[in-house]
């Protein structure tokens, strides 16, 4: 079986991080997000992956190449213009040889893909959609189905209080190639808004596969931090040890590490710094004496100078936080940023480049 993973979005909600790193390459505990998805596909026996890309594609192609390092075959199809979620799969039609998984490239889930294949074989129809239940479905695509799982309706972002169900589209589909016949070529088409409703209107069957798996869309800064908390605490199982973990943990000379903390290779933390809980430090970071970091994710080569404080913040590679700077909760700092000593960045600050670095 094949899988098509959509990796062409601009990731506007993760800016300024995505000005320097496309969303699929944003690290989850030091490993590009897309690598996590490919691992899951590999575990389910899927080796043939098609990546419709468009935004900063070279960052993806350079890292994964033809896939042979992962014992997979990766085919890239680069869009000149964004084609949308359905347009992107129509554009890779010639590579599709049978039923295939289609996945949003920004979903982290513990969904059992083999079980979903078995469900599709049992139900038939043109496709199966993974659904999950959420408390507030009003900001998602709601999917209504009957007891047999057959889907009857799609309702995008219903106003609060009018939601017909709390089951939402979780962004993993198993599709029959006939779905491609419902997508007009050469233009931007949304699978959620246009193609799935058109399939239902034609009397064809789509089935819901509702599970209680871990599921999150990492495309928003607050979700990105939640994912890291969940991985560090073991709620989302990835190969991260509990407590103080990572290749840099052994040489971390810090009396004030508050678990869970993950420390990348080559990272140095001064003894008098306070780091944790829920902190991930990338490779070769330098954390100076008196600095305090809590509930935050720092990518590689980040320098935090004396006395700086950082809370609920994401900092991209090669940035420097000057001495005694205070970074307010919910801040996002892009690549190569320099926060001057003593700066007080209010909550929710966005600091960094204001335009893509080498994009499209």
Residues with catalytic annotation? 157
Among 20, 38, 79, 142, binds ligand GTP (CB under 6 A): 79
Residue 141 in contact with ligand GTP, rule: CB under 6 A:
no
Instruction: Rank residues 104 and 319 by Cβ distance to ligand GTP and give the closer one.
Output: 104
Q: How far is the CB of 43 from ligand GTP (least distance, A)?
A: 20
CA distance 346 to 250: 34
Residue 85 in contact with ligand GTP, rule: CB under 6 A:
yes
Stretch that binds ligand GTP, among 4-12, 176-184, 196-204, 284-292 (CB under 6 A): 4-12
Among 17, 21, 23, 191, binds ligand GTP (CB under 6 A): 23
Stretch that binds ligand GTP, among 48-56, 199-207, 251-259, 331-339 (CB under 6 A): 48-56
Q: How far is the CB of 252 from ligand GTP (least distance, A)?
A: 34
Stretch that binds ligand GTP, among 83-91, 242-250, 251-259, 270-278 (CB under 6 A): 83-91
Residue 52 in contact with ligand GTP, rule: CB under 6 A:
yes
Residue 12 in contact with ligand GTP, rule: CB under 6 A:
yes
Q: Which residue of the chain is nearest ligand GTP when measured via CB?
A: 9
Evaluate whether 246 touches 228 at the Cβ level (below 8 Å). no
Sites of contact with ligand GTP (CB under 6 A):
6-13, 23, 52-54, 79, 82-85, 88, 104-106, 219
């Amino acid at each position: 079986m094949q899988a098509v993973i959509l990796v062409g979005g601009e990731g506007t909600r993760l800016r300024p991080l995505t000005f320097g790193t496309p969303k699929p390459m944003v690290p989850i505990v030091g490993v590009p997000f897309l690598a996590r998805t490919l691992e899951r596909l590999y575990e389910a026996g899927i080796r043939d992956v098609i990546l419709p890309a468009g935004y900063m594609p070279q960052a993806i192609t350079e890292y994964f190449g033809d896939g042979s390092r992962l014992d997979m075959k990766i085919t890239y199809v680069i869009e000149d213009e964004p084609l949308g979620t359905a347009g992107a799969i129509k554009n890779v039609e010639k590579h599709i040889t049978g039923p295939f998984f289609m996945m949003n490239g920004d979903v982290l889930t513990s969904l059992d893909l083999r079980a979903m294949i078995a469900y599709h074989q049992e139900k038939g129809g043109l496709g199966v959609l993974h659904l999950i239940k959420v408390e507030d479905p009003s900001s998602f695509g709601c999917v209504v189905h009957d007891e047999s799982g057959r889907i009857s309706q799609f309702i995008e972002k219903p106003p609060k209080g009018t939601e017909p169900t709390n089951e939402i589209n979780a962004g993993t589909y198993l599709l029959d190639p006939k779905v491609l016949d419902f997508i007009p070529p050469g233009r931007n088409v949304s699978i959620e808004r246009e193609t799935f409703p058109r399939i239902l209107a034609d009397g064809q069957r789509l089935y819901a596969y509702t599970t209680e798996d871990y599921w999150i869309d990492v495309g928003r800064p607050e979700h990105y931090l939640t994912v890291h908390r969940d991985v560090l605490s073991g709620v989302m199982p990835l190969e991260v040890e509990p407590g103080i973990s990572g290749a840099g943990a052994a040489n971390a000379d810090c009396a004030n590490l508050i678990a869970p903390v993950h420390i990348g290779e080559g990272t140095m933390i001064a003894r008098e710094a306070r780091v944790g809980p829920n902190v991930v430090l990338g490779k070769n970071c330098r954390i100076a004496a008196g600095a305090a970091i809590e509930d935050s994710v720092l990518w590689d080569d980040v320098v935090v100078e004396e006395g700086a404080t950082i809370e609920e913040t994401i900092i991209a590679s090669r940035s420097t936080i000057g001495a005694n700077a205070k970074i307010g909760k919910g801040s996002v700092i892009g690549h190569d940023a320099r926060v001057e000593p003593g700066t007080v960045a209010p909550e929710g600050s966005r600091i960094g480049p204001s335009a893509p670095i080498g994009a499209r």
